[in-house]
Structure 1
């Protein structure tokens, strides 16, 4: 039998993916749509509040998949500390759970998934990477759609629409100055500016990441780190000491050239 299409919003808990999910449901109907979220167990508590309110506004429940491990537990299992260039946590907790779910839709419910991402025109290269990834899915190609690029030609103020028209407060991490709301600021692909922001806003969370890094280095007796400087390991402890010595504000303004985590796309 030919599979029936099902439209799947890859919901990251961010504003763009929320807006895309809303438009998807308006276009195709609740009965033909899925609001899909993969939980890393590291999310900020206000993200869950935002997602619940978005789901209620849209009118469909969140379909959640959980590996059961945190990113830290993945690092130990694969014996590799995630960093700005490679993050096995997103591969295991996000990508793998997504592929398993999509195959469930096909094999158990005879549905053909079509994926929707909240990526904007300024990130077209990321859309190209995702499209290529799902076109080369090992089992069968999966169609991907990017409404913020393909449909909404003008720059849409999704944050303003959500707060002012829908009456839903955005995740607090936007207000606190983070570029994205993933992993409660602990994203290992965040880069120097991101971790400076984390140190400013939540020094306790920075301390937790610093301790995780130190524990991993000691456990595996490896000179590794989340951040890299001049191509070499540069620990969060070293970075904190540098920020304390030279002044935090200097590091809040320095832009990073980092590889975005797949969590930012889903």
Structure 2
């Protein structure tokens, strides 16, 4: 059997690959990475370093667009409730690779979702049919993210720097549209250039689509768009 790990650069997919390698070896192990083109530079370092430590090939696939280019093409601004970038930049490139290289009858796909997100499993299994999908980090012993990070350090693999900088996930350089206000505020403080780029992209899309935004807020019981521009201005006002 061929074992393909969806290798995102997150610590969960790294830990999943470790468990797959321990159980099945690395002779038929593939680390499949879908590159969004907007990842933190250190994610690529982590991928190369951890793949070398495992002794398994790292395969990169890419759509070629960024998430905001997808939103422009789809005429829809991704947000925490619906983000078409995931399907276009990750799922579809990976599926194309699987269709060309991985016989469903002889391939198991491993995903790094852990025990705290089991509600997501049925949709993932359905979405990747006809391939068999396994979730190594849902098996016992259950590990926290901190334990996974410590595990990597114990193997002399330096974890991705976004975790040390206070980000919950190592994806999209910290500028994930699924994130909430707290992470966007943290991005503004930590990587203001990335925030500025996302803000400018949001404004360009708003000029075309109208009053849409990545974030929302509730005002007097009603939900309304909250732009990155407005969020930045509020944060700057608190510092005055």
TM-score (ref. length: structure 2): 0.91
1:141-198: per-residue Cα shift (whole Å, max 9, x none)?
2211111112x334362111111x2111111100000000100011111111110110
C-alpha separation between the residues in 1 aligned to 2:83 and 2:98?
A: 22
Shift of 1:213: 0.7
The ranges of structure 1 where at least 4 consecutive aligned residues each deviate by more than 6 angstroms after the TM superposition are none
1:50-92: per-residue Cα shift (whole Å, max 9, x none)?
1100000000121111111111211111111111111111110
Query: Does residue 125 in structure 1 map to residue 115 in structure 2?
Result: no
Alignment match of 2:185 (pick from 180, 183, 196):
196
C-alpha separation between the residues in 2 aligned to 1:233 and 1:242?
A: 15
Q: Any idea what SS the aligned residue of 1:211 has?
A: helix
Query: Does residue 18 in structure 1 map to residue 14 in structure 2?
Result: yes
C-alpha separation between the residues in 2 aligned to 1:221 and 1:93?
A: 22
**8 Å CA contact retained: 1:102, 1:113:** no
Alignment match of 2:151 (pick from 161, 171, 182):
161
C-alpha separation between the residues in 1 aligned to 2:43 and 2:229?
A: 28
Alignment match of 2:132 (pick from 117, 135, 143):
143
Query: Does residue 47 in structure 1 map to residue 29 in structure 2?
Result: no
C-alpha separation between the residues in 2 aligned to 1:242 and 1:116?
A: 42
Please provide the CA RMSD for this pair: 1.8
C-alpha separation between the residues in 2 aligned to 1:221 and 1:7?
A: 43
C-alpha separation between the residues in 1 aligned to 2:214 and 2:181?
A: 10
The 3 A distance-change label for structure 1 pair 162 and 184 is: same
Unaligned runs of 5+ in 2: none
C-alpha separation between the residues in 2 aligned to 1:106 and 1:10?
A: 13
TM-score (ref. length: structure 1): 0.83
Alignment match of 2:108 (pick from 99, 106, 114):
114
C-alpha separation between the residues in 1 aligned to 2:83 and 2:143?
A: 31
Aligned to 1:238: 230
Aligned to 2:172: 183
Q: Any idea what SS the aligned residue of 1:67 has?
A: coil
**8 Å CA contact retained: 2:110, 2:135:** yes
Q: How many residues align?
A: 234
The 3 A distance-change label for structure 1 pair 23 and 29 is: same
